[in-house]
Amino acid sequence: MQSGHDITTDPKEVFLAAMRFRRAIKAFDPDRRIPAEDFDYLLEAARLSPSSNGLEPWNILVIESPELRERLHLEALLPQAQLRASHIIAFTAKTAKVLAEDSSHFRHMNVDVRGYPADDIEQRFTRFRSFLAEKLGLENDRAIFDYAARQAYIAMANLCTAAAFIGVESCPLEGLVYSAAEQALADAGQLDLKTDRLAVMVALGYRSEDPHRDQVRRELSEIVRVV
Ligand SMILES: Cc1cc2nc3c(=O)[nH]c(=O)nc-3n(C[C@H](O)[C@H](O)[C@H](O)COP(=O)(O)O)c2cc1C
């Protein structure tokens, strides 16, 4: 069984070795826990991720509760073999209400976090709304939530790559009944569906069996066209 990626010092090769090591793991070893400092490293990789307009419209729930995991299995149909992973995390994303209807998140990010002056924040918010509507063509609340979720996926991907970098396995989890997962998180008091919805989950830990298939991808010649 593979236990870590090859050690080399060329940064290009180190990065690609991590990309090749990262596989979508279907079965995790229930007895191996990611050390706290390694898990913090993964969260930091997510935190440093870029986002459209710098709005970081995501949050991360670390799902430790066995009852909640069980509900996610029974009701949201998440596979047990992945739910037994060391860590299960959920990326949530902001809804249209807090992203585009009122300026609460925009103001918090720009004034409190990024230190911009508060006096013209409403004009900047108006420009942001017209960016969503006119430039991106986002016409309804669902499209605006999906815009937020796209940013959460960037953080998710960076977290998974960082995991591979330190020999931690991951599997993004989209194959679930979203409404049931959201309800379970809401009932546990961890999600206010008016302001935050589920974007994607990730299982993290160490494999208990190797993937059944090799990592295969299309050739670059099929993917890329210079125009
Ligand atoms: C957004 C996203 C959602 C995914 N959802 C699931 C899932 O629910 N269950 C699963 O077993 N794999 C899931 N995967 C894993 C993909 O099937 C996998 O990445 C792909 O087949 C390529 O295999 P590899 O990652 O091992 O190279 C997901 C991957 C991504 C990026």
Domains of the chain: 11-223 (3.40.109.10)
Does the beta carbon of 210 lie inside 6 Å of ligand 1? no
User: What number is the average pLDDT over the span 169-190?
Assistant: 98
Question: What is the value of pTM for the model shown?
Answer: 0.95
Task: Kindly tell me if the per-residue pLDDT of 74 is higher than 70.
Answer: yes
Report pLDDT for 115. Answer: 97
7 — pLDDT class (breaks 50, 70, 90): low
Q: What is the pLDDT of residue 1?
A: 47
How much distance in Å is there from the Cα of 156 to the middle of ligand 1?
A: 12
pLDDT band at 9 (very low <50, low <70, confident <90, very high): confident
Å from CA of 24 to ligand 1 middle: 5
Structure confidence at residue 5 (pLDDT): 54
Residue 4 Cβ inside 6 Å of ligand 1? The answer reads: no
Percent of the chain residues past pLDDT 70, beyond the cut: 96
Q: Give the whole-angstrom CA distance, residue 60 versus residue 91.
A: 5
pLDDT, tens only, 103-132: 999 999 999 999 999 999 999 999 999 999
CB 200 near ligand 1, within 6 Å: yes
What are the beta bridge partners of residue 92?
A: 59, 198
DSSP letter string, 98-158: IIIISSHHHHIIIIIIT---STTHHHHHHHHHHIIIIIS---SHHHHHHHHHHHHHHHHHH
Ligand 1 centroid–CA 173 distance in Å is 7
pLDDT in tens, 186-210: 999 999 999 999 999 999 999 998 9
Share of the chain above pLDDT 90, in %: 95
Task: At 150, list the tokens.
Answer: 């796209």
Q: What is the pLDDT of residue 144?
A: 98
> Does the structure show a pLDDT above 90 at 56?
yes
Distance, CA of 125 to CA of 117 (rounded, Å): 13
User: How high is the mean pLDDT of the chain?
Assistant: 96
Residue 48, pLDDT score: 98
Q: Does residue 4 have a pLDDT over 60?
A: no
pLDDT tens-place string over residues 129-151: 999 999 999 999 999 999 999 99
Residue whose CB lies within 8 A of the most ligand 1 atoms, among 171, 177, 201, 218, for a mutation test: 171
